Structure 1
């Protein structure tokens, strides 16, 4: 079925899936029919607030049923969604709210004990206040070429930039994502990935409405809470970082947890231990595992395919999605072209021109290689690369080696100044077993070229992560 816009797709879910469960959030259970009714009423509330076609509204709140109703209600009123990272401090959030020109900000007061505010003149509305239920059913006509959302980049390498994406782009790409990830009608999809991120919003909320999957929103990732939901709600689809699957393996090994409902896994990282993928398939009930590569500016770019080997799933990010081209520039940068590349950055022509060249290639800032089968491997970020005595060192590659050490749970490598070599590597390691700095360096020397071996190791209880799970290397530096 071909829809022009996200509201058309969402509103059709009542006819397509009816009384099946659409959202389960604590005691709140909504069928698809009930969800669509709430979305139409929320659209009326936005219209009464003065939100019309093309107007922007920010949502600065954790994953919840209300977030879903607000986002789809806003789009149904003709508005444009601006999700804001819940971990942002007030100044960071106000910068994004201000630059986006948002007419209002929806929040969940008291989340993590915080009071959420907005820049002067922008009304703050609590998602739990009854606002979403205050309208008359309403639908504004929009086109597939209209901007649906403005998602700001994570800002690990500079000031966040707002990425403009249309209804048509989102619908086409995430319909394909559903096929690749094996998301099916009737699936029960636990979404801990934040809704303010493309994974939670697009590969989560939009994908679930496309397919007829039940959304189980999780506001804060806690392993025991996730395990409780898997057991109680018979979760079938469970994406997450490699650390999530380590936790599932530990829970399975210690017994007392029923994980038998799990069917589809989706993970992603520059490098995943092959043995982890093997164990996910061998020791857990998962029947499919997808890994992929994406970015805010182009959505999901590549993905693994059913039947890919453990080695391919662990060490590559698969092959390009339909209608998307990938090539490697002379300097190793991954370039992407196709229908899913953003329209541009909000109010920033210079940054847009810098990112998308005159031939339509998006310069991702990631470094990669393509093998002769067309499988992409990500080896690092251009900005992360450091030069040791004239040799290019790629942190993601070094991290991949270090993760093979049985005592290393997590690792991040950065380049630090060195009087003789210019720069050398320093590894920040979270341990899962006993190992000393000298032992790890000696172990590395036996497995890596000398210029790649970290000259020093700092052990940490945890690595600094942003809310989308990326290590904030600027803090380590």
Structure 2
């Protein structure tokens, strides 16, 4: 399917997940495995996966996945069963994920930064029957008595207590992949859990197929593309936006085990990378490399980013360094199976800090606290709808009922739409500051600070004040020495006086994040209180 085919992305209204009516692509594969088999049929001998010394064609990757699927089926793992993938960015993740999906089982990718208590909760919450893990993480696995549903343990590196993953590759390939329905769950991805226990978002085949088709259409992805994944494959961006988008377009997936700016630039050059998606801090780290100009990155055409707005200073620096590169902001969440809005080619730096327009099959609604639509330009909570929005949370009907209304997912973000349908996201509802009656969006202050050449990342939190209610305090991760006075003066030239931070915590270490990579402002608030804030 090519975006040059006028009918390839035709849309129609359809009913899904009970009471939802959403726009859908009328011509689409009905499952992830069907998407894979189509790519194998037309691109069988082309390179599909590059990870260190491992290089597999689409036919070889498909064969390996079917062998894993057959081995799991022989162990009575089948349709609907949950298999945890506690794997870093490595070839085994890709092979295992496609193998599990081939038998109709559900993958549960988990961050390798998770600890034993969290793993115990996740294993039991999803009722996992098996886990495939990095050997180095074996000691973190909960004991059998604490996770009784886990019947099988497989390790990608030799270790005691788990079967070798290599054994799964020795079976004859699966002859009959499971018959899947579009609304069947393909993956359970646990949300960040910044408050309370994580919730398992149920991503269906319908959700994922539409997300990857959105990327294909908006980014113009095709078989010539070579996508690099440097964010965790266990995250929705790594899994859907990069790995499964590559399955859809038939290009090649370049897997980087761990991001380091110099290593990334070297890999991007040697593998002729054409596209990737990273967080803005990764772009900033690349720009800080003194020898960035020596790398031949002429093939790099798409630079996606998300998780935070890209500072205008970074956009201009990237444009200067890489004039052929198109930056694309993709805004979404686990609950939207990746993108809900995307900027279009040419938007970067021209639409302020907008996160773009709704994806072709999606809708964005801005509502007040009573759930009433607000007019253009007014700020309220962002609600998102479309075939990419998950059907709910695993075994959690109360959370599902509280987070979805008429097919719209309540994002918890505060934003507004302009007359052209471009969305601006100002803050998380719970992170907005109120200083003496003045509302302050922490994102605005953070974006100014990360434009300073010494700042890698910044996070604003409210410092309790008996007079004003809150004052602006900022935690800064700095790449080089910088003083509070310098940063305050930098902000004063660019922000209204009431928005200028009145307190700073400057450190060289990265700011705290949870296993999914989300910034933990809760921890920062606690640090501030302990310090006498």
TM-score (norm 2): 0.84
Does the CA-based 8 Å contact 2:362-2:385 persist in structure 1?
yes
Correspondence for 1:52: 78
In structure 1, the partner of 2:458 is: 411
Out of 34, 44, 69, the residue aligned to residue 43 of structure 1 is 69
In the alignment, is residue 125 of structure 1 matched against residue 172 of structure 2?
no
Change (3 A) 1:269 1:197: closer
Closer/same/farther in 2, CA of residues 416 and 251 from structure 1, 3 Å limit: closer
Structure 2 alignment gaps of length 5 or more: 2-27, 158-163, 370-379, 526-533
Counterparts in 2 of 1:12 and 1:119: CA distance versus 1, 3 Å? farther
Query: Any conservation in 2 of the 1:274–1:311 contact (CA below 8 Å)?
Result: no
What is aligned with 1:28? 54
C-alpha distance 428-271 of structure 1, shift in aligned 2 (>3 A)? same
1:194 partner SS:
coil
CA RMSD after TM alignment: 2.0
Q: What is the alpha-carbon distance in structure 1 between the residues aligned to residue 311 and residue 301 of structure 2?
A: 21
Q: Corresponding residue for 1:89?
A: 115
| Alignment correspondent of 1:297 | 335
Q: Following the alignment from structure 1 to structure 2, what is the Cα–Cα distance between the partners of residues 279 and 448?
A: 22
1:403 CA drift (Å): 2.7
Structure-2 separation of matches of 1:33 and 1:353:
43
State the Cα deviation string for residues 296-318 of structure 1 (Å, max 9, x = none). 11121000112325232x51110
Is 1:452 the counterpart of 2:499? The answer is: yes
Say which SS state the counterpart of residue 74 (structure 2) adopts: helix
Deviation string, structure 1 residues 272-303 (Cα, Å, up to 9, x no partner)? 22232122223125432211100111121000
The DSSP-based 3-state class of the residue aligned with 1:42 is helix
- 446 and 229 in structure 1: CA distance in 2 versus 1, 3 angstrom threshold: closer
1:38-57 CA-partner distances (Å, limit 9, x unpaired) = 11111101101211111111
Separation (CA, whole Å) in 1 of partners of 2:294 and 2:333: 38
Q: Matched residues in 2 for 1:340 and 1:118: separation?
A: 33
Match of residue 184 from structure 1: 222
Q: Name 2:99's counterpart in structure 1.
A: 73
Aligned-pair distance for 1:252? Answer: 6.9
Alignment of 1:236-275 (within 5 A): 236-251=274-289, 253=291, 255-275=293-313
| From 339, 352, 356, the counterpart of 2:404 | 356
Shift of residue 430, structure 1, vs aligned partner = 2.2
Contact 1:415 1:425 in 2 (8 A): yes
1:205-244 correspondence to structure 2 within 5 Å: 205-244=243-282
Structure 1 residue 407, shift from structure 2 partner? 3.7
1:136 aligned to which of 149, 166, 172: 172
Structure-2 residue corresponding to 1:374: 421
> Equivalents in 2 of 1:294, 1:154: separation in Å?
14
| Aligned residues of 1:270 and 1:379 also touching (Cα < 8 A) | no
CA distance in 2, matches of 1:257, 1:305: 27
How far 1:419 moved relative to its partner? 2.0
Give CA-to-partner distance per residue, 1:82-134, whole Å, 9 cap, x none: 111111111112211110111001101126xx634245232321135213313
Give the TM-score, by structure 1 length: 0.94
Deviations 1:417-442 (A, max 9, x none): 11222221111112345542234334
The total of aligned residue pairs comes to 473
> Would the alpha carbon gap of residues 443 and 41 (structure 1) be closer, same or farther in structure 2, given more than 3 Å must change?
closer
Tell me the distance in 1 between the aligned counterparts of 2:291 and 2:172: 52
3-state SS, counterpart of residue 189 of structure 1: strand
- 8 Å contact 1:234–1:262 — kept in the other structure? yes
Report deviation, 1:266.
0.6
Q: What is the CA deviation profile of residues 367-424 of structure 1, one whole-angstrom value per residue up to 9, with x for unaligned ones? A: 1111111100111101112221222222112212223334433211011211222221
Aligned to 2:470: 423
* 1:404 to 1:279, Cα distance in 2 relative to 1, 3 A: closer
